[in-house]
Amino acid sequence: MARLSAVLVAGIVSLTPLTASVRQATPPTPPPAQQGAPPAGQTPPAGRGQTPLQNPNPHYASIVMTIDVNAPVDKVWARVGKYCDIGEWGIPGCTILSGKDGELGAVRSIGNEILVAKTDHSYTYTQPVRATGIYNMYHGTLEAKPLTPTTTQLVYSLFFDNSQLADDAARETDINSRRTRFTGFLQNMKTLAEGGTLPARGKGGARQ
């Protein structure tokens, strides 16, 4: 019996080094990959900053035009601030192609312009990229700012990239043309907001 116990103890002792060596040979479990990380052994893709710009040399321009109106801000905005009111004071024939007038994402037929931002008395729109692939980042903002309880300032701001024009002279001509056109739009808005009417051909010219 004593001999059998000695044999069993010897067997257990002889197995211990084998168990240890097996544990040492087992590779550690790798940590879980981070979300979005490339697989092991692959080079991560270049960052977004490495993507070439469509226009590496833009020439940004902005035009800010204002006009004072003898009417309270709420009355002014109710008269000329709906998204398709441009059809009355600017370019005739405006309709909503998709979405709802005054809500983000609404598209109007004038330039297929998309409403991208709004407040109680302002909105900003942009135009989609055409098949030409040329995008001038055109944005327009119409805003009504209260001056007093009975007077309002209408502000029309334009922002765009005019680098595709030939030279500074062409850019200046373009800016002056836009300023003249939109100043006429503001005058039309003032007339309407103060209770007046526009003559049959007094609604300004086509934009762009």
pLDDT band at 158 (very low <50, low <70, confident <90, very high): very high
Q: What is the pLDDT of residues 34-70, one digit of tens each?
A: 555 555 555 555 555 578 888 888 899 999 999 999 9
- What's the topology of domain 60-193? Alpha-D-Glucose-1,6-Bisphosphate; Chain A, domain 4 (3.30.530)
Is the model more confident about 45 or about 7? Answer: 45
Query: Could you state, in order of their start, the residue ranges of all structural domains in the chain?
Result: 60-193
Does the pLDDT at position 78 exceed 90? Answer: yes
What pLDDT, on a 0 to 100 scale, did the predictor assign at position 49? 57
Q: Concatenate the DSSP letters of all residues of 18-81 into one string.
A: HHHHHHHHSPPPPPPPPTTPPPTTSPPPPPGGGSPPS-SS--EEEEEEEEEESS-HHHHHHHH-
Does the pLDDT at position 76 exceed 90? Answer: yes
